[in-house]
Amino acid sequence: MPARDALTDKQIDAALPEGWRRIQAEIGNRISREFRFANFRTAMGFIVRVGFEAEAMDHHPELFNVYDRVAVALTTHDAGDRVTETDLELARRIDALAD
């Protein structure tokens, strides 16, 4: 499993998967991406697959769904709500699930 040490903004930007964006908050930071699917059923199937992948990594994203859209946000609470390599790895795995 990837390390859970907080990454610098420069490290995040250099490794951020395409389509993801970095969000800086007052407390911590996160990465996020919105996915669009053909319909609600497909979006829900994606959420279930993300759930299984997240559970396997013991790293759980924030998920938000409206009909055919799924928004995903990742941060590591154990690292002070900062982005870690674990978040980047889960983002890459989520991208693979969306293809």
HSE-CB of 40 using CA atoms within 13 angstroms:
2
End-to-end CA distance of the chain: 23
Q: Which pLDDT score is estimated for 25?
A: 79
Three-state secondary-structure class, residue 6 = strand
Q: Which pLDDT score is estimated for 26?
A: 75
> pTM value?
0.92
| CATH number for the domain whose boundaries are 9-98 | 3.30.1360.20
80-86: average pLDDT: 94
Q: Where are the domains of the chain?
A: 9-98
Segment 17-47, tens digit of pLDDT: 999 999 987 777 999 999 999 999 999 999 9
49-55: average pLDDT: 98
